[in-house]
Amino acid sequence: MSEPERLDPRRSALIAYDVCRRALTPSDQGRRAAMRPVLDAWVRMIATAREAGVPVIYTTPVSRADGVDVVMLPTDLSAETGVPPLTNGIEGSAEAGFPDAIAPLPEDYVFLKRRPSAFYGTGVAELLRMLRRDVVIIGGGATNRGVETSVREAFNLDLATVVVRECCWSGDAAAHAYSLDKAMKIYARVRSLDQVAAMLLG
């Protein structure tokens, strides 16, 4: 019988990827209801991390109000939809902040993010080195876009990564499933919230 998986809290950090109000508590009531299970999962995941003494790192996707830092590169997606390939909240807006249920505490870390990766141009990688953390627990949205981009970059940074399934979301159900069940398994371990809690606290 194989040994149960364990995560050393002294080497681990949680990245709450783009868990902003815009995503988790949108103004549209139908979307808000659909996102409620993800918000509830984040409440539990963050509480588990804090119980284990694991640093919590938040990212929120922002652009300037004047749009000068919006990505305007030509892509197939932008050609098909007529919108930029990356859309963020406005820096300093309420939507770019975090739901009260998972609001950062003074000991947490918050990074503004202007590109899909949690690491590119943010300082998150430097923080992990400073804290001597080489294991990343991550979830967020969109699964198949920003989370997967961050997982691939974490692999390039020699970081062991665990993706929390219930803490991920996407507007594209098929892409979400493929990312969790196929693509990210090349670069990370994909585990349920119960499994991750047991790995940290068991």
Query: Per the structure, how many domains does the chain have?
Result: 1
Tens of pLDDT, residue by residue over 23-72, are: 999 999 999 999 999 999 999 999 999 999 999 999 999 999 998 888 87
What's the per-residue H, E or C state across 126-194? HHHHHHCCCEEEEEEECHHHHHHHHHHHHHHCCCEEEEEHHHCECCCHHHHHHHHHHHHHHCCEEECHH
Nearest residue to 12 via CA among 43, 47, 57, 42: 57
Kindly state whether residue 5 falls inside one of the protein's structural domains: no
Backbone phi and psi for residue 63, each to the nearest 5 degrees, phi listed first:
-135, 160
In the three-class reduction of DSSP (H, G, I as helix; E, B as strand; rest coil), residue 15 is classed as: strand
pTM (predicted TM-score)? 0.95
Tens of pLDDT, residue by residue over 107-148, are: 999 999 999 999 999 999 999 999 999 999 999 999 999 999
Question: Which CATH number does the domain housing residue 54 bear?
Answer: 3.40.50.850
Q: Which domain holds residue 169?
A: 12-201
